Amino acid sequence: MLAKLALIPQRTLNSYTTGPAEGVYHEGDFVANFHGCIRDKTRSCEDEIQPLLTRWREIRDRER
């Protein structure tokens, strides 16, 4: 089993949009996790996703 196991930094596949500094999304991370934004009435999912969506659109438009 260990021959098929790989340890990778948590941010690579599961970066959080809020939380401890070592787990927060940075440019280059593969996945951003918006854990709890729907249940927490003090947070706005739209506000949290907007910077990432804007950056994604910039990259997409540059590749066209």
Q: Which position has the token pair 């593969």?
A: 30
Would residue 28 count as lying in a domain? Answer: yes
Q: What is the pLDDT of residues 6-47, one digit of tens each?
A: 988 888 888 988 887 778 888 888 889 998 889 999 999 999
25 burial via Cβ count (<10 Å: 0-12, 13-18, 19+):
buried
Determine the structural domain holding residue 34 and report its residue range.
10-63
Single pTM value for the model: 0.69
Residue 59 has pLDDT above 90, yes or no: yes
Question: Which amino acid, 2?
Answer: L
Residues 6+ apart with CB under 8 A from 36: 43
How many separate domains does the chain show? Answer: 1
Residue 47: helix, strand or coil by DSSP?
Answer: helix
Helices (H) and strands (E) in the chain, counts: 2, 2
Q: Is the residue at 17 inside a domain?
A: yes
Give a yes or no: residue 31 inside a domain: yes
